[in-house]
Each structure stands twice: as C-alpha cells, then as structure tokens.
Amino acid sequence: MAAAIWTSNFRLGKIIPVLFILATLPHQFCSGLIAPVTKKSGDEVALKPLNHPGNKYDLDDMIDQVKIDTGHSKIHKVDLVSDEYKFVIRLEIPSGTLDPEMISKTRKMVAAKLDVAEENVRISHVDITDSSIEMYVVYTALDSLQRMQGVNVLIPASQVLPHLTPKELESYNRNIPIKSISGKIETKDEAARQVLADAKMWKVFQKQIWETWQLPFLIASTLIFVLVLVVVFLFLCFRQQIDKKLADEEQTKHMCVFPDVKPCIKNTDPVQPDGATVYMSEDDLKVIKTEPLRVRAKGLLERRGSNTSLTIELNPSPESSITYSSPSRESNCEEFLLSAGNRMSRKQLRGCIKDVKTLHNEFWDIPMNHPDKVEVAGSGTKNRYKTIIPNDLTRVKLPENPNDSLSTYINANYIRGYDSEENAYIAAQGPMVHTIEDFWLMVWQEKSPMIIMITKLKEKNKIKCEPYIPNVRATYGAIEVTTTKVSPREGYTVRDLFLRNGNQCHQVQHFWFTAWPDHKTPATPKQLVAMAVEVESHRCDNNGRSCGPIVIHCSAGIGRTGCFIAISIGMQQLMEENMLDVLGIVCAMRLDRGGMIQTAEQYEFVHRALIDFDRSLPEVAGD
C-alpha cells in the first residue's frame, strides 16, 4: 500500500480511498457466509444470518434425529443443512443390507480420516436401497465476544472431498467397502474459500467491536499511518529542494574563464629549439599562480563504454611549471606504459590502501591507449561498443574464410602474463548474437583450457552478454558444445564443457562469476580471489607449462576483465618475488589492450584483492 501511494506522488485523491477502505473493513468482514441455525416451531429449522439480533450462534441443536420404519425402504432424517455442505458415501454392498452398525463404522472412518471428533461428522440422510449415507462436517470454534461459547461452523463439501477417497477410507476398516464419494451439489468457489476465513475473523470483527478496546486501537493505527505518510512526503519534498540547490551550486562552480587581453608578441625569443620555432614574449613566460579550473563537459566520456562525464583540467596546478626540454606524457603514451612502475613490498602494499586519493591519482595518470581505428573494414558490426576496439598488434585473428571478409575479426586481444609470458590470457568482449560462433571458434583455435565470465547476461535492463553456454548440448558452427558437469561455488559456478569438432575433442572449464554488483565493485574481494586461486591451480600442466591462453570476458572486455587479469598476475608476482607492482601490471595490460581497468574504484579494488591474498601467504623475515 505504501509503495502504491509513493509512486502516485502522494496525491490526495489516492490516499482518501485507502483510508475509506480501512474504515469499512469491520463491516466487510462481518458479512460472513456462515449461517448458524435456530429452531422454529415443530421440527422446522431455518438458517439465520450471523448479524441477526438474538442469534446464539449454536449448531448443537442439529443432532441426529433418525426415524426408522421397518416397513419402508428408507430411513429419513430431518434436513437441517444446505446441500452445499453435504457429501454422499455409497457402500459397495447388496441393496437393502445397510444396517446401523455399518453406518456407525462409516462415520468413524470419516472422522478418523479428517482427524476430527466423531460427533463432528453428522448424518443427514440414509438410503438403504442405494446403500448411501449423506453426511456433513462441522468444527467447533470459540467466540471470545460471546463469553467463550462454542460455535459450530459448517465446513463446505468442496473442502472436505479432496481429503476423502475410497481407498483411503477403506484402509481404516477393510470390512466396509466404499464404492464412491461425491458432493450433493456444486458449490461456488468463492463461498467455499471464504467460509473458514470468515469464521476465524468472526471473533474480531463483530458488531460488538465498537464497544471494545479495538476501536481506539484501530483509530490510533490509522492516524499514525497517515502521519508517517505525511512525514515521508515532506522529507522527499525537502530532499528534492536540497538536491536542486546543490546542483545549481555545482553548475555555477564549474565555470571556465578566459583572458580578455591578447598576449604581447614584442621582444620575442625562441623557446623550443628542438622543434618548430615558436616565438613567445617574456611576459608570457611568467608562471601565473592560479587555481586549476575544472569543467564538467556534457557529452564527453571519462572512460570509454560509460556515461560518466569528463573532468578536464584547463589551467596548470600551482605546483606545475612550464617545461621546454621534454615532450608531454600524452604525446608519448607508449613510452610511459613501457617505463612506468611502482614496486612495493608486502608491507607497503598493506599500507597503500590508507591513502586512497593518492592511489586514484596514480590511476588517472596512466594513458588509456585506446586505438582510433581497426584495419579490418566493416568490423564495427562485431563490436558491442563503438569506442571499445582491439589494439591491432595483439588482436586475435580467426581462420580466414574467402567468402567472408570479416571472418578473421573478433574483438579480443592477447594479454601477456607474469614475467612477460606471451599469450597467457585473451581479453574479449562478451559474445553478441552474431558472434557466438566466432567466440567458440576462438576457444577451439587457441585450445583454451578455461573461460572466465565476469558479468550477468542483463544488468539494469541492458543486455551485457548473450547466453552462449548450453544447458545440455548445442552446436555453434562446426563445434558441438556439451555441458557435462555443473559445480556451484560461493559467488561463482564452474561448468565442465566437452567440445567436439569432427573427430577432434577438447575439454574446457567455464567459470561464471555472478557476485559482481552493477556499476560498482564487490564489497569484499574474497570470492573473486578464491576463483582466481582455483583458476591459477588449473592453468598449467604437471610440468608447469601453460595449457593455453585463458579467455576472460565481461561485457566490454576491459573493466572487470582487466581486474581479474591484474589480480592473477599480481598473485604470481607476490608468490615469486614478495614484491608487487600494480602500476606496472596495468601499464603492460594497456599496451596489449587499451583501457584495461576502467575506473579508479576498480584500481583500488585490485589492491584490496591482492592485500587479501597477501594475508594468506606465509610471513617473510624483514617484511
């Protein structure tokens, strides 16, 4: 109810009907379907509504009054109950042989099967010729508003018959053969479902409720509920105004100021002797101490494949100065990626996470190294994201098909492993509908022993990856894939796959990590570290040689994929050297595939994961 009111922006026209329904609940529940009986003159009995004045709500007067006439073929009983509560049991015995002993035994069998007292199973009619017994069932409830008197409630035949079958009844007494069990008439489903519910609610919602303590409680509860709705409404309005005010202040803060005065070009001196001659005045060479201006530019991207806006530093920081001797880092991306590094001891690793701001600044200094284009014409149709394309030097190339100009193209790159191990990993985008066959062809061509999937099929109602793993068996192009085993783990699932291409076979393990939340990093790295340890244990054969490149993919193949590869390489580096260089690892990955590890939060998460792994290693003297 609360959710419905919130989504309608708390309009008064939506709240008033809800309060009206709450106020009328007692009257709705008091109009039940149960109809206790009272006697009239003679043997005639009439049904009276529950809210009839003077009703004692007692069915104990409906006792078995059987008139037996040996000169006739039938035993008659006063009919007190509506046919919708009656059911008929026919015995498989010769006509005319039904006697009171059989009737009593049948009654006991029904009571035992329904687990009620024998007196609650009552007989309304017996037909000796047809060997049938007509019955109905009541149960006794206590009415607290009537001084704990017993209230006998009729149970509809539609609720009794599902619990009675001839075989089940015969199991209680083999000497009484049951032929059939049926209802006297068809009952309305709605009445059958409501009769017991109304009987239970009778003790709460009765006309005397307005004379008891429930009325003040009901009024107080309604007032509290309305008060809570008003408070929530006011809070949301106040919050909206605050957010709007902060947004206006943020927009005002991000302004760009340009100088109005043109620089003087008199008394010029050359300042760049190694390049093209550029003349500047002496006044222009003065370093102006100003605060950096940052512009929030709409439409630009902080990282490719995201919707985050870009922060651009227009003016240099106060600490910076003009440098004339060396080119900028942006103009020499490859040189930076080849030379940058930050080796840390295990102790330094555990301490670096205390200064998250420095860690984030270190990440943003790394060039993305995104390629501008791919040499394969028309390959854009096989890219999930337009701006995420493979670096050409390390691109995985599929077998060439003369009839298909795009047959060799797949959005994937070889990534070097620890100690510059060639082709240790393959970073790929998540398969698309028309690239699933290419994906399996790549796995077959590279004889990859494992596939690591770190994405859900759909996140935030957006398709991130197409389902490419069969539940049992499927064929993709010339490759038949069969799932032979599924092993759930904490946070991920391992599947054993069997690949067949003609007469050749290949086995692959598929690791599907599903514990990565949408648009953020996991709260704890333990599950991902556990999967990385398991993957590393199967990466090499008994002789320590690699079994082939491990295929890792998320959606774009750079963010979560880069995190996993960096963690795997970092684990090997910690075990071999007792040292770690995450900055160098990321730079090496971006040389092979641009944009590996997309955000500073992911870069921080890699450090936290390796700290978690480091705690599992034995301590080294002096560390």
Instruction: Dig out the tokens for 184 from the structure.
Output: 């006297």
Which one, of 153, 125, 159, lies nearest residue 139 by Cα?
153
Backbone angles phi, psi at 617, to 5 degrees: -90, 150
CB atoms within 10 A of CB 547: 13
From 256, 352, 547, 554, the catalytic residue: 554
Q: Which helix (H) or strand (E) holds 498?
A: strand 492-501
Q: Would residue 587 show up in a list of annotated catalytic residues for this protein?
A: no
Contact between 545 and 585 under an 8 Å Cβ cutoff? The reply is no
What is the crossing angle of helices 600-614 and 526-537, to 10°? 70
Please identify which residue in the block is written with the tokens 């009484």: 176
Which one, of 524, 617, 551, lies nearest residue 578 by Cα?
617
558 marked as part of a ligand binding site: yes
- By CB neighbour count within 10 A (0-12 exposed, 13-18 middle, 19+ buried), where does 365 fall? exposed
Instruction: Dig out the tokens for 489 from the structure.
Output: 């783990």
8 marked as part of a ligand binding site: no
Backbone angles phi, psi at 311, to 5 degrees: -100, 120
Please identify which residue in the block is written with the tokens 């046919």: 83
479 marked as part of a ligand binding site: no
Contact between 436 and 468 under an 8 Å Cβ cutoff? The reply is yes
Instruction: Dig out the tokens for 325 from the structure.
Output: 């001797």
554 marked as part of a ligand binding site: yes
- Sequence-ordered list of residues with C-beta below 8 angstroms from that of 560, at least 6 positions apart, any chain: 454, 455, 516, 554, 602
- The DSSP symbol for 366 reads S
Please identify which residue in the block is written with the tokens 């493979």: 390
560 marked as part of a ligand binding site: yes
Which one, of 580, 582, 599, lies nearest residue 521 by Cα?
599
In Å, how far are 51, 192, 426 from 57, measured between CA atoms? 10, 20, 79
Backbone angles phi, psi at 239, to 5 degrees: -65, -40
- Sequence-ordered list of residues with C-beta below 8 angstroms from that of 580, at least 6 positions apart, any chain: 343, 344, 346, 349, 570, 573, 574, 610
Contact between 455 and 555 under an 8 Å Cβ cutoff? The reply is yes
559 marked as part of a ligand binding site: yes
545 marked as part of a ligand binding site: no
How many C-alpha atoms does 460 have within 13 Å on its Cβ side? 4
Could you give the CA distance from residue 191 to residue 508 in angstroms, rounded to a whole number? 59
Contact between 428 and 410 under an 8 Å Cβ cutoff? The reply is yes
Helix, strand counts (H, E) of the chain: 16, 26
Radius of gyration of the chain (CA): 41
Q: Facing residues of 580 across strands?
A: 344
Q: Which residue type is seen at 458?
A: K
- The DSSP symbol for 401 reads B
502 marked as part of a ligand binding site: no
557 marked as part of a ligand binding site: yes
Which one, of 240, 251, 284, lies nearest residue 266 by Cα?
284
Contact between 595 and 603 under an 8 Å Cβ cutoff? The reply is no
Buried b (16+ CB within 10 A) or exposed e, 6-44: eeeebeeeebeebeeeeeeebeebbebbbbbbbeeeeee
Largest interatomic CA distance in the chain? 143
Which positions make up the binding site for substrate?
Answer: 518, 554-560, 598
Q: Could you list the active site residues?
A: 554
